[in-house]
Amino acid sequence: MIEGVNDENGNATRFLVIGNHAAQPTGNDVASLILYIQNKPQALVKVLRSLKQNMTSIQSRPVKGHPWEYVFCIDVEGHHNDPDFQETLVRLEKVCVRVKVLGSYPA
């Protein structure tokens, strides 16, 4: 066990397995995104309305050094190379400060 990894008491560390190549679409995929949104009323609602795909997971994470600001890690059904998904990314980029696609993988 590694001691002292966290920078705040009570933190939990998660690990992801990252491959050295992009997963090809299978027809049953999940895409992971990180969304940076404005700290304004209705900002998250606008983001959620922009999604064309079903969301399977959402987690918020505080932005260190910026009280009351959060990034959202979401998983949605689909592959990031699908045309429908590309349309969703265009809509998300209009309502988010930043959109980061982590990648897609078979569900």
Per-residue pLDDT reduced to its tens digit, 57-91: 999 999 889 888 889 999 999 999 999 899 999 99
Summarize pLDDT for 32-41 with one digit per residue, the tens: 999 999 889 9
How far is residue 98 from each of residues 40, 52, 82, measured CA to CA in Å?
15, 18, 20
Compute the distance between CA of residue 21 and CA of residue 85 in angstroms, rounded to an integer. Answer: 20
Domains of the chain: 29-106 (3.30.70.260)
3-30: pLDDT as tens digits: 666 677 776 666 666 777 888 889 999 9
